[in-house]
Amino acid sequence: MYAEEASSVIQSGQVWEKGGNHLYGTDCMDILPKLPGESIDLIIADPPYYRMKGSFDFVFLSEKEYLEWCSLWVAECCRVLKPTGAFYCWGSCLMIDKLSVLVLERFDWTKRNLIVWNYKTGRPAKTAYRNETELLWFYSKELHTLNLDEIRIAYSKGSEKDKRKNPKGKSCGNVWEFSRIMPNYKEWTGHPTQKPEKLAERILLASSKPGDLVLIPFAGSGTEIEACIRTGRNWLAAEKEEKYIQEFILPRIQSVV
């Protein structure tokens, strides 16, 4: 399906289609309640962080309001996730602990890992250590299986010759080292919380198979959509900011051959 319709993007009102997959120009809560239960293989959520980056982070009047909003869309994510499915959720260092305890742990799935994206750069701070990471919760339903062989990493130089080592590489840890997207990078869009495509690809390879259906409730810069197309995953995405759809997401979708 992807090979046959890779260059076809059809605009119809607030819905865009590519290869049978859909981007909805609306809030994810307009879409999630309409999805069938246990219909999604993988969810990658990159919601507002709460008063950190971008105007969308400052629409919440309090932490309570933010966490109550998170509870609404997370409940729907848990409902639509298959028994074999996985859920990945980004969060800021200032909020991700509360997001876990007060929201994520209240639903019927299992906490697997707190993944650390280490990008090794950051602005100096006077009252705290320089922040060089972002954090990602990995939860899953009971029957989820990680495709560990798909995301193995090369051994350190010299140690790969040890016959006891797996010839495919060492297993992936929970610290992921990828550079931040800079203005001179080809994939840069200008979105304030854009993630690298290689990072999204690792999630897809680890927790889904070609042909699986991936839900992206906050499409943002379109990184996860592009990664789905390149890895042969089906996708369903929502983004309510028209600017992001027109300037970031649609050009990326149209550029993938």
Can you give the pLDDT at residue 140? 98
Can you give the pLDDT at residue 158? 67
pLDDT tens readout for residues 63-98: 999 999 999 999 999 999 999 999 999 998 888 999
pLDDT at 3 over 90: no
Binned at pLDDT 50, 70 and 90, residue 22 comes out as: very high
Q: What pTM was estimated for this model as a whole?
A: 0.90
**In order of start, what are the domains of the chain with their CATH numbers?**
2-255 (3.40.50.150)
Can you give the pLDDT at residue 5? 37
pLDDT at 185 over 90: no
User: What is the percentage of the chain residues whose pLDDT exceeds 70?
Assistant: 89
pLDDT tens readout for residues 96-119: 999 999 999 999 999 999 999 999
pLDDT tens readout for residues 140-157: 999 999 999 999 998 877
Can you give the pLDDT at residue 159? 61
Partnered with residue 89 across adjacent β-strands are 45, 137
